[in-house]
Structure 1
Amino acid sequence: MTDVRTDLSAHLSATGVEGDLAELLLKIAASCVDIRKVVSGGALAGALGASGNVNVQDEEQKKLDVISNDILTDNLLALPLVAGVASEEMDNCQPAKHDGGKFLVLFDPLDGSSNIDINAPVGTIFSVLAAPSGEITDAAFLQDGRKQLAAGYVLYGGQTMLVLTTGSGVAGFTLSLDGQWLLTHADIKISPDTKEFAINMSNQRHWAEGVQTYVAGCLQGAEGGRGKNFNMRWVAAMVADVHRIMMRGGVFLYPWDKREPNKPGKLRLMYEGNPMSFLVEQAGGKSTTDGRNAILDVTPTQLHQRVPVILGSANEIEEIAACCGV
């Protein structure tokens, strides 16, 4: 007998997500199929290498950054339901030319740009908010993470996967060979305990004391106070590192460090911190900026605001908090 799987549209309907929000999420998912086609083409599609431009983050844009951003922006602004979009690759938000849109969409169109030219995993991260009445400016997007209506990511890896929450748990979908998003992970839960951590060890000397203490305890292994051996993983794409946590537990740390002490962190609150924290919390994990403050409770003041990010298995986040003196 052929195994008949639920597709994304049917899953949304079955879980009470219908009408306008369902239509929007299906459009985002379809846009990510378009991005996957360009990513998979790589050099054959002439999509590798630098674009010659620098974005608002003062980072060199890759050609695929620009292409992915254009796909999402054009597709979403053509949808009457969308009042405006904001992207890591654009200086300011872009309001729709039509009136009456209900939703705002923020996205990192291609997370993990440093992986593009070496054919390592990359992905798309997105967040959906309710649009306020009146003119759509950057200020309209400055809503705390707990106001998200939906969030998710697409991982362009060995399989292309969409991981999505609308506030009632987390589900995972795999893109079939004929272009359908099929439900393969109905109720993703993050194990509360783990033996894996993900961090860029090259920055160790710059971390605050609490993070130094935590990582040192992991590195001591079974002979140390933690009493177990840890593995370290680092893919250099937040989507891939968070997806690993979703599938088998773990923690991801991109903490504050003293290289640029006046900057609160490296990752962007609106495009990375909030959507990933929403997903992690919905899967039973925890997220924090410093062991004390939840990322989803941060009040945004800038569209491209940065924050430290620590998230993953709940019990391990508690251990990190203890090391940070919380």
Structure 2
Amino acid sequence: MNKTININLAGIIFHLDEVAFEKFKTYLSNVKTALGKEESGEEIIADIEARIAEIFNLRMKENGSQVVNLSDVEFIIETLGQPEAFVDESENEVPKSSSKETRRFFRNPDEKVIGGVCSGIGAYFDIDPVWIRVLFLVLLFFTGIGFITYVILWAAIPEAKTTAQKLQMRGEAVNLNNIEKLFTKVEDYTSTEKIKSGVNSFVSFVVNGIGSIFSFVFKFIGVMLAIAGALIAFTLIVTLLGIFGSTWNLDGFNFISLNGYIYGLDGAQAIFGSGWRLLALRVGTLLTLLLPLFALVVFLAKIFGRELTNSKLLSFSGIASFIVGLILIFISAGSLITDFRERCNRN
């Protein structure tokens, strides 16, 4: 059970949970401290409170809630920004020496559809962001470069988080008059959200359609890889059976023997003999082949979206078996080389 606290904001009673109240109280106190000493500070504070009340009402209707929670307060802070930044900027501003403010490139979070790139470009060049979005869609469908360009810009361009940055994004001076205008624009939050909702629906339809196409392509590639993996696995199994040759019997039936095809009539046995060297070679080869088999299993599991619970253990076992297998092969080969040298010395 969470404790709720009642507050009066712009003549409207709101119920805030305790965590949201503490954060909102601190934020509003910082706003009043930052703007209270300014000439028109009280008017701006009253306007800010009125805008916050409107947004609280709208979000509670959208969420079907009667209590303002922490996410609502964080949305307010994200929308309006921190007060310290624009006060510092306004104090350091050169009043009349420059006729035009230098614009800065930011992503616009207030009018974003996906990442705020198009609206940020529109604000920087003073162009309707709709035309920028149309351009990106054309580039996406006809050249494919639109997606890559958008992702690069999304990663490279910072988001305008503070009020000062939002003004600099539009090339406006960071002063109290422009700050008041910016807060007044929040009054259009309801209509802006409706427009954004419609655009989001259209974009979601386009994105879902593209996603379905790519999903089919990836699944098709996954099936092809699975078939190729099955063929590789079958080849490895046949190789293993061939290495063990006719030493494996089941009710008098030989599985398969490839020794004669690989190493002549008697195969590996003719070279390594029938003693421990041949056994070490066979076991070592078996162990070294386990690593690619395990890797194939993990790869196919990822292709089909399956998470192996013991993937780390499987990887460790494969690497360990590979190392042990190499050691056995080297021991067998080393013993064979030593034996050949001794025979050569005798002759």
TM-score range, shorter chain: under 0.3
Relative to its length, the structure with more helix (as a share) is: 2
Higher gyration radius (CA): 2
Q: Using structure 1 for the length normalisation, give the TM-score.
A: 0.26
Report 1 or 2 for greater relative contact order, CA contacts < 8 Å, sequence distance ≥ 6: 1
